[in-house]
Chains A and B, each alone.
Chain A
Amino acid sequence: MNTILPVIIIAVFILINAIVIRLFHRKQNSFEEYAVGSRSFPWFLSMFGFLGSWYIGSVYTGWFGDSATIGVFAQYLAIYSVGTMITMFIMIRPVWIWGKNHSLETNGDLAALRYNSKSFGLFLGLTTFLFWTPWLVIELKTLGYLVFAATNGVIPFNLGLIIVGLFVVIYSWLGGVRAGVIGDLVQGLFFTIIGSATIIFLFYKVYGGIIPMFDNLVEKSPELLIIPENIGPWIWSSAIITGAFGGMMNPGIFNRLYMAKSVRAAKKSALVAPLIGSMFTILILWLGLGATLLEGFPKDAQSGAFWIAAKVGPIGLGLMGVFALAASMSSITACVSTSAAIIGKNLTGKISREKKLKYAKLSALLLGLISIAIATVDIPRLVAVIIYVYECIAQAAVPLILGLYWKRGNKYGAYVGTVIGMGIVILNGLFPWLTSWANGVSAGLIGLMFNLIFYIVVSLVTPRQSNVDQLFEELESPNRRNVSTSIEAGEVEINA
């Protein structure tokens, strides 16, 4: 096979990204511009921002491999993505209005405002940041793997990781969230429109069509088409429920909510994203579903998507590499720019916004470079760490979602519930009895259950917070700012 053609296709794709991002570059001279694009993005940019933040490169590697080997179970990804959108839809109005009125830029800001507690905001911002950054290393590793697989090994793993990783980190560092979202638009258009067409073409080329593939599966591997007893329905349910709430607690999603130019723009973006995202995810996972029936399917199932694409020649292989790279690059840029905003805004103490902007830019660069360095090292326990990540982040859902609708929820309930929820997830490995009684329900879901109970009970037995009524009044007349709460220079000032 011509091994140079895939390399050229990937190089052209990266060049197109660089040109478009440069064309739409705007000087990053304020923290609000750097962190949330001055809250000016129309719905379609927000939509690709959401898609970019969620749909990760691992869909083409890990999930594709799971679809091939364990079957329909892997489709929990598509279901929880839609569940996440429903959760997001109910959060948009309060998050956006409070964000606009109080200059919120991170999830920690929202928690600090709602619970009138700088320390709780810091706790939530810091924990979600710490739990989220391992994803950055994973996605960078995926990047190296994708380039290696898509070029048939012409570009070595670490070289691909460093070249493409540096490209993404540099444009995130220089261009802030705006560059990230413009990149998301280019990448999203590639992996949804051209990607879907290519995958449908691959179905007909490799299986003779979607239905013939299912016919073959029903006859030869029917166990791949249901959730088998040995996995169990509770593991499947836990993965969907925890994912639906955990996906929304991904700190990058909050940034993308704030960057929309209005409630209407944010909600409109949430309409189209689940349809595009879930249909595309299902298509790629269906492609993997029948792959083990193909003669010569590789032992390393993660490389299956590239193996199938290579069947139509070097152009197919190069395009598959581009789709996967697009998904991976957009996740990395979301992680870098949001983490930089959290560090600059929530972790730097009481300094001016100009200095916060400097720290945010510096941390984007440093975080990116350090993550690239870590990703080049073999880390055997990384996957084990990742298992905890999503389930821990999901615990932020209880105080953040309920806090938007239930006035009685207070900082004591939020603290106790979140700490208990995260504690159950983290300590489950050391003390299996914490979850062993639950018949296969995941630690994340059990954590959410206890988190919810403690949040409600502790909030009810402790004093009501006085700032809440005024905050909720703002939602009734969004253009009027009724209260003098503000999150400036990283602290909450309440004069209710």
Chain B
Amino acid sequence: MSRGKVTLIFFIFCWSVLSTLVVPPIFQYFNRIEPRVFGIPFLAYWILLVCIILSLTLIVWYIVEDKRGELD
């Protein structure tokens, strides 16, 4: 798979996750207090989770690029 395609796949995945917070029809589902997760209201929890998922995705992305020898 070309470097461009790998970049595109990761980029689309990241923005798909972000879309749960930025596309209003989808966001409506997440804009709620219940259910509370670990005691945290749902929207606050979801914002935290999205930030963690995206940060971890960047790490996976980096590892993939490293294995493909694209970082040097």
State the A residues within 8 Å of B (CB): 72, 75, 78-79, 82-83, 85-86, 89-90, 93, 210-211, 214-215, 217-218, 222, 225-227, 233-234, 236-237, 240-241, 244, 262-264, 267-268, 270-271, 274-275, 278-279, 282, 286, 289, 405
Contact between A85 and B58, CB atoms less than 8 A apart: yes
B residues less than 8 Å from A264 (CB atoms): 66, 71-72
The distance from the CB of A323 to the nearest CB of chain B, in whole angstroms, is 20
**Per-residue A-contact encoding for B6-38, CB less than 8 Å = 1, 0 else:** 010001001100100111100110011100101
Per DSSP, chain A at the interface is: helix
A274–B51 touching, CB < 8 Å: yes
Tell me the chain B residues, 40-64 only, with Cβ under 8 Å from chain A: 40-41, 43-44, 47-48, 50-52, 54-55, 58-59, 61-62
B residues less than 8 Å from A214 (CB atoms): 36, 39-41, 44
A-B contact pairs, 29 of them (CB 8 A): A75-B44, A79-B21, A83-B18, A83-B54, A86-B15, A86-B18, A89-B58, A90-B7, A210-B39, A214-B39, A214-B40, A217-B41, A225-B33, A225-B41, A226-B33, A237-B21, A240-B18, A240-B21, A240-B22, A244-B18, A262-B71, A263-B71, A271-B62, A278-B55, A282-B47, A282-B48, A286-B44, A405-B4, A405-B7
Chain B residues with Cβ below 8 Å from A279 are: 51
Whether the pair A274, B72 counts as a contact (CB closer than 8 A) is: no
Q: How far is the CA of A210 from the CA of B33 in the complex (A)?
A: 16
Q: How far is the CA of A222 from the CA of B43 in the complex (A)?
A: 12
**A282-B31 in contact (CB<8A):** no
Which residue on chain B has the smallest CB distance to residue A262?
Answer: B72
Residues of A within 8 A of B71 (CB): 262-264, 267
Report the tally of A-B residue pairs with Cβ distances under 8 A.
109
Taking A86-B58, A263-B71, A279-B51 as known contacts, 10 extra A-B pairs with beta carbons closer than 8 A to each other, sorted by chain A number, are: A72-B43, A79-B51, A82-B54, A237-B21, A240-B21, A240-B22, A262-B71, A262-B72, A263-B72, A268-B62
A278 contact set on B, CB distance < 8 A: 51, 55
Query: What residues on A are CB-neighbors of B32 within 8 Å?
Result: 226
Q: Select which of B4, B11, B31, B39 is within 8 A of A227 by beta carbon.
A: B31
Chain A CB within 10 Å — which of B23, B70, B71 has the most? B71
Chain A residues with CB under 8 A of B40: 210-211, 214
- Determine which of A226, A233, A274 lies in contact with B54 in the assembled complex, contact meaning CB atoms within 8 Å: A274
B5 CB, min distance to chain A CBs, angstroms:
12
B residues in contact with A217, CB < 8 Å = 41
A240-B22, A270-B58, A275-B55 known; A72 and B47 CB under 8 Å? yes
Complex contacts, B36 vs chain A, CB 8 Å: 214, 218
CB distance from B31 to the nearest CB of A (A): 5
- Complex Cα gap A264–B72 (Å): 6
Residue on A nearest B38 in the bound complex, by CB: A211
Q: How far is the CB of B6 from chain A (nearest CB, A)?
A: 11
Question: Which residues from A are CB-within-8-Å of B66?
Answer: 264
A355 CA to B4 CA, complexed, in Å: 40
**What separation, in Å, do the CA atoms of A234 and B22 have in the docked complex?**
8
Q: Is there contact, CB below 8 Å, between A86 and B31? A: no
A268 to B66, CA, bound (A): 11
Which residue of B has the minimal Cβ distance to A232? B24
Which A residues are in CB contact (< 8 Å) with B58? 85-86, 89, 270-271, 274
* Inter-chain contacts of B31 with A (CB < 8 A): 226-227, 233
Which residue of chain B lies nearest to A265 when distances are taken between CB atoms in the complex?
B71
Contacts A236-B27, A237-B27 given; does A78 touch B47 at CB 8 Å? yes
CB distance from B24 to the nearest CB of A (A): 4
Residue of A nearest to B25 (CB): A233
- How near does chain A come to B41, taking the closest CB pair, in angstroms? 4
Kindly provide the distance from the CB of A44 to the nearest chain B CB, expressed in whole angstroms. Answer: 15
Which listed residue (B11, B21, B54, B72) contacts A90, Cβ 8 A?
A: B11
Q: Which residues of B contact A271 (CB under 8 A)?
A: 55, 58-59, 62
Instruction: Determine the residue in chain A with the shortest Cβ distance to B53.
Output: A82
A233, B51: Cβ atoms closer than 8 Å? no
B45 smallest CB distance to A (angstroms)? 10
Rounded to whole angstroms, the CA-CA distance of A211 and B55 in the bound complex is: 24
CA distance A271 to B61 in the complex (A): 9
| A contact residues around B21 at 8 Å (CB) | 79, 237, 240
Minimum C-beta distance from B68 to chain A (A): 12
Complex contacts, B48 vs chain A, CB 8 Å: 282
Contact A86 B44 (CB under 8 A): no
Q: How far is the CA of A94 from the CA of B48 in the complex (A)?
A: 31
**Smallest beta-carbon distance A242→chain B, Å:** 10
What is the bound-complex CA distance between A423 and B28, given in angstroms? Answer: 32
Residue contact B50 to A79, C-beta cutoff 8 Å: yes
In the assembled complex, which residues on chain A have CB atoms less than 8 Å from the CB atom of B59? 271
> In the complex, A210 Cα to B21 Cα: how many Å?
23
Measured between alpha carbons, how far is A93 from B33 in the docked complex, in Å? 41
Tell me which residues across on chain B come within 8 A of A267, comparing CB atoms.
Answer: 62, 65, 71
What CA separation (Å) do A274 and B55 show in the bound complex?
Answer: 6
Query: A262–B4 Cα gap in the complex (Å)?
Result: 20
Measured CB to CB, the nearest residue on chain A to B72 is: A264
